[in-house]
Amino acid sequence: MKAQLAMFGSKPVVRPEHRRLEWPVVTQADKDAVLRALDSRKFTVGAKNEQEISGLEREWAEFCDTRYAVAVNSGTVALELALTALGLQPGDEVIVPALSYVATAMAPLYQLAIPVFVDIDPVTFNIDVTQIEAKITSRTRAIVPVHLGGLPADMDEIRALARKYDLLVVEDAVQAQGGKYRGETAGSMGAASVFSLNVEKSVPTCGEGGLIVTDDENVAERCRSLRILGEDLSTEERLYVSATRGSNLKLSSVLAAFTRSQLARFWEYQDRRDKNIPIFLSRLAALPGIVVPPVPEDRTHMWHMLRFRFDPQAAGLDGVTPGRFRQALRRALLAEGVPLTHYQIIPLPGQPVFQEQNAYGNGYPWSLPGTNPQRYDLADYPVTCQVIEDSLCLRRMHLNPDAGPALDEYAAAFERVWENLDVIARFARALDYAPPWAAVKGYEQKAGVPA
């Protein structure tokens, strides 16, 4: 007899202790590192003989195969400073994928530059490199590929376009710390690249932090100045003289010390994750109608996030739409204790900040003289819409190095739900359905958006 579903009252498959895993794992070594920073009494990057921030910058550059790393107080700031240090000007256009964290598209606004979105690839979820060229204009200055979920983007194609049109490439490598693409390291393939150290990342800090990496000494030097109010740093003694606009964006040495300790055991953790996550994925891949994240042979997956697409036809459920199937599965799997989430409920160009072109008032930067009008129409991003509609994600905290037993239970929960697909189909057909973006003001019934 097949097992009943938890959504109808049976005992959930996943035990309570596996419904929310702990990340970051904090060890005695991390605590000792933090105490070491406190005992040093050198708390900021400006302190003479400060060791932790400079140590992290040295070790991070080595980790990324780059010459320089500059620590700042978030990944968002890292992106803002990288683009600024590379000379982005007001009114420049920056090409970004339509699916990412909003920071990728928000960062160009820091320099009054304008994000231009490109739809994603339906398999890798990264920027669709076949659609970039059509978005390049005389105003385009940079491409910011994102290694979404931990899988490096198609960097060779991106770099070829950048060479052809003389564009900058800035990798948003935030989700792919340590990743490899055709033998190169994530972060080493752009004019500058950025990382975040927030608590969700594989190498976190105990709070917020970020890093810019580059091989260009001038770019590194500019970032160091920009994080400290644009100060002229060429003098041995700090004179508090600002050469350009900047802000106070420095990382604390306590946070740097914690990250150094985490970085020291990153590969040991990654090895364990490289064992338990593929076992979990192969169990799911055996169920008809689940598409698990692919790992092309020429790159590594850093398992920042797993996105599963659900295909009702392949599952044998004719007449059930992908959105309804996903929504019914979400209800059933959450009831079983599998902590699935959406990752983005709307393509980035649909976010109200871009829809309403609301950044600095008076329509700036979109209203600057000579700029190209931007449509930001969701109908231009059909793949991103489809993927958001038919997929759910498992996030980093549930993919920690000791997640094996939890992942076993998640797989068993999927298997139980798949034994009951007839029930799921009935439930899906009867749902009061709305696509995920219906939760966004203005999109309740937006015409032209695939539903």
Ligand X SMILES: Cc1ncc(COP(=O)(O)O)c(C=O)c1O
* Contacts to ligand X by CB under 6 A: 74-76, 100-101, 103-104, 146, 172, 174-175, 196, 198, 208, 210
CB closer to ligand X out of 6 and 173: 173
Task: For the CB of residue 307, give the shortest distance to ligand X in the complex, in Å.
Answer: 13
Q: How many CA atoms lie within 13 A of 106 on its CB side?
A: 14
Structure-block tokens of residue 82: 């990288």
CB closer to ligand X out of 162 and 176: 176
CB closer to ligand X out of 74 and 276: 74
CB closer to ligand X out of 226 and 449: 226
CB closer to ligand X out of 208 and 231: 208
Choose among 299, 351, 322, 345: nearest CA to 124: 299
Q: Is 291 helix (H, G, I), strand (E, B) or coil?
A: strand
CB closer to ligand X out of 210 and 322: 210
Task: For the CB of residue 29, give the shortest distance to ligand X in the complex, in Å.
Answer: 23
CB closer to ligand X out of 104 and 214: 104
User: How far is residue 339's CA from residue 238's CA, in Å, rounded to a whole number?
Assistant: 50
Q: Where are the alpha helices (DSSP H) in 313-351?
A: 322-336
Cβ burial, residue 89 (10 Å; 0-12/13-18/19+): exposed
User: How far is residue 57's CA from residue 258's CA, in Å, rounded to a whole number?
Assistant: 13
Task: For the CB of residue 304, give the shortest distance to ligand X in the complex, in Å.
Answer: 8
Task: For the CB of residue 210, give the shortest distance to ligand X in the complex, in Å.
Answer: 5
Q: Where are the alpha helices (DSSP H) in 17-92?
A: 28-40, 52-64, 75-85
Task: For the CB of residue 350, give the shortest distance to ligand X in the complex, in Å.
Answer: 17
- Minimal CB distance to ligand X: which residue? 75
Task: For the CB of residue 102, give the shortest distance to ligand X in the complex, in Å.
Answer: 8
User: How far is residue 59's CA from residue 69's CA, in Å, rounded to a whole number?
Assistant: 9
Task: For the CB of residue 198, give the shortest distance to ligand X in the complex, in Å.
Answer: 4
Task: For the CB of residue 42, give the shortest distance to ligand X in the complex, in Å.
Answer: 24
Choose among 160, 219, 209, 154: nearest CA to 186: 154
- Going edge to edge, which strands form the sheet with 305-310? 290-291, 305-310, 391-395
CB closer to ligand X out of 76 and 193: 76
Structure-block tokens of residue 380: 């231009």
Q: Where are the alpha helices (DSSP H) in 41-189?
A: 52-64, 75-85, 102-106, 155-165
Task: For the CB of residue 157, give the shortest distance to ligand X in the complex, in Å.
Answer: 20
Dihedral (Cα; 411, 416, 421, 427), 10-degree rounding = -100
Reported for 428-431, long-range contacts at CB under 8 A and 24+ positions apart, including other chains, are 428/312, 428/317, 428/320, 428/321, 428/324, 428/325, 428/327, 428/328, 429/319, 429/320, 429/324, 431/324, 431/327, 431/328
CB closer to ligand X out of 76 and 270: 76
Pairing of strands 290-291, 68-72: unpaired
Residue 356 DSSP symbol = T
Q: Which amino acid makes up residue 78? A: A
CB closer to ligand X out of 210 and 339: 210
CB closer to ligand X out of 94 and 103: 103
Q: At what angle do helices 404-419 and 421-430 cross, to 10 degrees?
A: 70
Task: For the CB of residue 219, give the shortest distance to ligand X in the complex, in Å.
Answer: 19
Task: For the CB of residue 80, give the shortest distance to ligand X in the complex, in Å.
Answer: 9
Q: Which amino acid makes up residue 222? A: R
